[in-house]
Copies of this chain bind each other. A is one copy, B any other.
Amino acid sequence: MSTFPAFRAGLFAAAFTAAVPAFATPQQGSGVAWDIVEGLTTEIGPRMAGSEAEARARDWGSAKLKALGFQNVRVEEFKTLAWQRGPESAKLTAPYAQPLAITALGFSVPTPKGGLKAPLVYFPTLAALEAAPDGSLKGKVAFIDHAMRAAQDGSGYGPYGNVRRQGPSVASRKGAAGVVIRSAGTDSHRNPHTGVTVFAKDVQPIPAGAVSNPDADLIARTAARTAAGGKPMAIDLTLEGKPFPDAPSGNVVADLPGRDPSLPIIVIACHLDSWDLGTGAIDDASGCAIVTAAALAAQQGGQALRTIRVLWSGNEEMGIGGGGGAVYARMHGAEPHAVAMESDFGADKVWAAKFNTAAENKPMVDKVKAALWPMGIVPHEGETEGGADVAAIIKAQDLAVIDLGQDGMHYFDLHHTPDDTLDKVDPAALQQNVDAWTAVLKVIANEPGVIGKGQ
């Protein structure tokens, strides 16, 4: 459409006489949870594990938790293998010149100086790539497509996320000089999804990137022309990100002491680090906001019986088993825990609850279910997951787990993209999360008996 106003005179005649605000910010929430998400995304923003920004986020979190009245607030630093993004760009050079919206995957290695110029070979699925003969991709870049669909419980991320997690290793095993995947995401925006890939021990790491879904569509359409007798595809790829060892990271840990300090504690976790492309609003400032606000709200009827601890974990995104959750379990393995829970699936409404608790705890669980039901939260019998920040302590102490399942229909529209920003957080849904967590904590943190895991 034209940008030339004289030809759109009709548009200009409209009188807009609405009151002029001092600030045009469209959406505002309130309360502790909103304050944390708004503050962390505004005052810190992107906070990659191992970065200076993640260190600033720890200071920010520590100050915030103290100001909110938490006790024993401490930063527990550790070193980690991290990864740093570099300049990145890509374009199809044949059969059609088309710029591509690309981002490197975490633990990608850099392309050669001047970029990687190579034929691009299309695989509709990871299985199709696996079926290619070894060595058949020598000097080529593999493109791996897939057809991820949204699911309320996020379950599409398992199989389709494997394209990102395993695809680069498979491509390398076939001899590929590089690999590009369709983003593990469900949106249709020109914002590619990053995330770590894990190179298997027996393969050479190669440059690995993800293009946005519209770019992947373009590649698929072009590949169809190639397959129908058209010219082959070629790509010019620059991905300069690279791993770096011994980066500083750390957890922020804070307590709301219980009336009976001898009872095993409740730990509720989130992660403080984020990917660099967005400001980490849904992944996972929201999680930290939810658990922190709920821990405080659970004290409103009086101090809880058990200590509630919040863990704002460092380096969850690139931790691969050695992130903040594992460090926490090592450092706090001697302290008795009762239940571990995590919030790390965005800020949409909680709709399901899963329990891994002992048969003896049925009365407690029934109380939790009864408190959640009016909020539209249904019990579900599936296996609990815990999450990356609590998995190690759950395993170490064989803990009971309660999962509060958030609606994931839109989570993978935003996950690991530039679009993970504050405007995506619905204040009402965020508050529903806080209310659900508060309801759970009020029951379990006041449970005097032994809380055990299921058989």
Contacts and interface: CB of A to CB of B under 8 A. Distances in A.
Nearest to A320: B4
Contact of A7 (B195, B217, B284, B391): B391
Contact of A385 (B9, B159, B388): B9
Contacts of A10: 155, 158, 382-383, 385
A96 B60 CA distance: 12
A24 B320 contact: no
A7 B387 contact: yes
B382 A415 contact: no
Contacts of A122: 23
A46 B345 CA distance: 36
Interface in A157-190: 157-159, 161-162, 165, 182, 188-190
A146 B24 contact: yes
Nearest to A122: B23
A260 interface: no
Interface stretch (A64-72, A123-131, A368-376, A433-441): A123-131
**Chain copies in complex:** 2
A324 B96 CA distance: 25
Contacts of A45: 96-99, 218
Interface of A: 1-14, 16, 18, 20-27, 38, 41-46, 53, 96-99, 101, 106, 122, 124-125, 127-128, 145-147, 154-155, 157-159, 161-162, 165, 182, 188-191, 195-196, 213-214, 216-218, 220-225, 227, 278-279, 283-284, 316-321, 323, 344-346, 382-383, 385-389, 391, 411, 415, 417-419, 421-424
Nearest to A38: B221
Given A9-B383, A14-B159, A44 B96 contact: yes
B158 A12 contact: yes
Contacts of A13: 158
A6 B321 contact: yes
A8 B227 contact: no
Contact of A188 (B5, B188, B221, B423): B423
A165 B146 CA distance: 42
B190 A222 contact: no
A173 B410 CA distance: 44
Contacts of A391: 6-7
